[in-house]
Amino acid sequence: MRAARPTLLLTRPAEPSARFEAKFRERFGADWPVLIAPLTEIRFLPFDLRAAERDGRDLIFTSVNAVRAFARQDGATGRRAWCVGPATAAAARRAGFDALEGAGTGRALADRILREAPETRFLHPRGAEIAFDIAGALVSAGRDTVSVVVYEQLARAPDEAAQVLLRGADPVLLPLFSPRSSLRAAAALAGAQAPLLLAAISTAAGAAFGLPVRRRAIAPSPDADGMLAALVALIDAGNTG
């Protein structure tokens, strides 16, 4: 008899979790068990828009949350925005920016800016926590870049449904999208009894999750499609193992 399908546990904030759930269901079907239980709450922060607009003509966005936070105070008006990957670029276009799309990592975006961007001052609206200091990398390379913190990420405990799931005996698919979210998940999920099937967006994200797992897979590309491929590998291993 085929084993029951593992529940997909999504721990990102509600909006990106819902977007990934939709992609997952397109690939695996509408009836696959999915639980959204955010371990992070996004809080937008006030900032001086006039000062921010003086500080840079071209914008750099390395997260959807940065786009949303900045767009709440700025009408965009077609300003050019260099975006880390497709999801961030799509959010920037919806907000009215002229978005250019990077290859999925801060380092790759910095390299593209250094190759292709005109000599101008850049503004990087960002979260309080960052995985890669793109502003610092650009300044080191001689590009005038200023960053402004426009949101913060607050840790949340697993909700009751997630706690019940993690106390069970059935495997749980756990996709983790950054080293910092891996650290947060490891702290929140300590003591979980359910076997964990870890899909990490990068080797660093996988290494940051210090809890034991039954199986793990690293995404072949740092984006939603890569994470789906990692989940396919985990599910296929369970079906044949």
* Tens of pLDDT, residues 175-227: 999 898 999 999 999 999 999 999 999 999 999 999 999 999 999 998 899 99
Domain limits of the chain? 7-39+156-240, 42-153
Q: How far apart are CA 68 and CA 72, in angstroms?
A: 6
* Tens of pLDDT, residues 58-117: 999 999 999 999 988 866 667 899 999 988 999 999 999 999 999 888 999 999 999 999
Q: How far apart are CA 231 and CA 157, in angstroms?
A: 24
pTM metric for this prediction: 0.80
Q: Provide the token pair at 71.
A: 């767009």
Domain covering 42-153, topology = Rossmann fold (3.40.50)
Task: Indicate the residue type of 152.
Answer: E
Answer whether CATH 3.40.50.10090 is correct for domain 7-39+156-240.
yes
Which pairing describes strands 145-155 and 40-44: parallel, antiparallel, or unpaired? Answer: antiparallel
